Amino acid sequence: MRLVAMELAERELRIAWGERGLGAARLTAVERVPLDGGAEPLRAALAALAATRPATVLTTVPLAICTHRLLHLPFRDRTRLLRTVPLELLGQLPVAPEDLLVATRPTGHTAAGTEMLAAAVRRADLAARVAALTEAGLTAARIDLAPIPALVLLPDTMASAALVLADGASSAVVVRRDGRIAGLRALASDVSEPGTLAGEIRWTLRVFGFSGPAWCAGPDAARLRPALAAALDTPVDVLSPSPALAGAGSAEDLTACALVVGQILTEGRRSAPRVTFAGDQEDMPRRWRRPAALAAAALVLGLVDVALVRATLVRREAALSRAAVEVAAAALPGTPVHAARAQLEEALAARRRLRPAGDVPVLEVLREVSARVPDALRLDLDELVIEPDVVRLHGQAESFDAVEGLRAALAASPLMREVVADETRTTVDGKRVEFRLRAVRQTAVGAPS
């Protein structure tokens, strides 16, 4: 499935391409399309994107046109949180609830309850933001709050860090502490005055109570870094792409497109850092997903099991057919074998009609013993001896009653007499019964007609 994430900036259109299969999404390329401020270049760029017919379209909304709050609620129930957080946020804003679109996300749990990040944007502002996409025939499957998706690009070892998205007059800073979003603010200063912007960032980080390392991303990251490093007492670095992303574009383009790159990499990841206004499935209860996944896995395993069993049965049938052909060829030398079982049965019937009195073949005795054993008995035979005057059986059965049932079944055969069970005892593990049966063969007095 082909993915495209786009950021409509003041000076350019930033695009990240990706692919998603059964696993996580993979970044394939990034693009930066310059815009001269007119509507026509943007319209042409979006029309070219629409012509590629991407399966999923992702975009962002800048933090500057949104309002947000970090809330602490004294409970953890997900359904209750989803119902309560919008009410808490709307209660602090002088705007009619129907004019706002609210997105929420839990940032962590505490002993007292849950920390939640809630953000709101005017519906009219959001519609204006995606109007150009809609006009081009592109429907945004997800609209994320900037700059949160870029957090996924921070090194895994940085559980606490500040990320500054340097992008002209739309710059923003987000703070992550112990893996949780601890602060978020749109910056009022412009990157055209790096010293002023760095001073605002320093003040913002002090308000958040943060003194850890800082990273710069966005198209103006390299321009801001020296001023920010001079203003802060902590390390400041430009967010460089990991080696795994190097094939998607140059380091400069990947840093500039950090926001849309983060959107691609977080697609399909439930725990990914993002707050989504549209198309988000994270805010909906997912009680059905785990059972559905388990049901799908069970179905797949069942189909595999059926296929393996069928293949085993086919191989066994083929082996039995070959063995029957070999037996028929040995028993009927010089006779073409075309239906081994039928030919053997016919030859056996002919021999029975012609045999002298008192001659009962071993094969017929074996067949009689097999036919007399009840199907319900689960026997493990270790020994079956057919002698001229006696048949001996040794093995294990489920119970003493099962042994008696076997003895009675054999005693009912016209080929047997004086069937006796010897040395019947419980096995060492106490789970089965070991037995020996001795059956005297009946002496035939004449040939059947």
350 and 363 together in one domain: no
Q: Tokens 């977080």: give the residue.
A: 266
* pLDDT for 285: 42
* pLDDT for 282: 45
46 and 134 together in one domain: yes
Question: Model confidence over 386-407: pLDDT tens digits?
Answer: 888 889 999 999 889 888 988 8
17 and 140 together in one domain: yes
* pLDDT for 284: 40
Confidence check: pLDDT of 288 > 60 = no
Task: State which of 339, 354, 369 marks the end of a domain.
Answer: 354
CATH of the domain at 160: 3.30.420.40
Confidence check: pLDDT of 348 > 80 = no
Question: Model confidence over 64-98: pLDDT tens digits?
Answer: 889 888 888 888 888 888 888 888 877 777 777 78
* pLDDT for 296: 87
Residues 298-321 as b/e (b if ≥16 CB within 10 A, e otherwise) read eeeeeeeeeeeeeeeeeeeeeeee
81 and 219 together in one domain: no
Confidence check: pLDDT of 264 > 70 = yes
What mean pLDDT do residues 204-221 have?
92
55 and 135 together in one domain: yes
Domain count, the chain: 4
Which residue type is seen at 374?
P
**What kind and span of H or E run contains 131?**
helix 131-135
113 and 255 together in one domain: yes
339 and 202 together in one domain: no
DSSP assigned state of 139: -
Q: Report the half-sphere exposure of 192 (CA within 13 A, side-chain side).
A: 5
What mean pLDDT do residues 175-194 have?
91
149 and 159 together in one domain: no
pTM > 0.85:
no
Is pLDDT larger for residue 21 or for residue 8?
A: 8
Answer for the pair 213, 161: CB distance below 8 angstroms, yes or no. yes
Q: Tokens 């203003």: give the residue.
A: 231
280 and 307 together in one domain: no
135 and 260 together in one domain: yes
164 and 234 together in one domain: yes
Task: State which of 203, 238, 273 marks the end of a domain.
Answer: 238
CATH of the domain at 449: 3.30.1360.100
Tokens matching residue 59 = 């975009």
Question: Model confidence over 114-161: pLDDT tens digits?
Answer: 888 888 888 888 888 888 888 888 888 889 998 999 998 888 788 899
Confidence of residue 378 (pLDDT cuts 50, 70, 90): confident
410 and 281 together in one domain: no
Q: Which domain holds residue 340?
A: 288-354
Question: Model confidence over 39-72: pLDDT tens digits?
Answer: 788 888 888 888 988 888 999 999 988 988 888 8
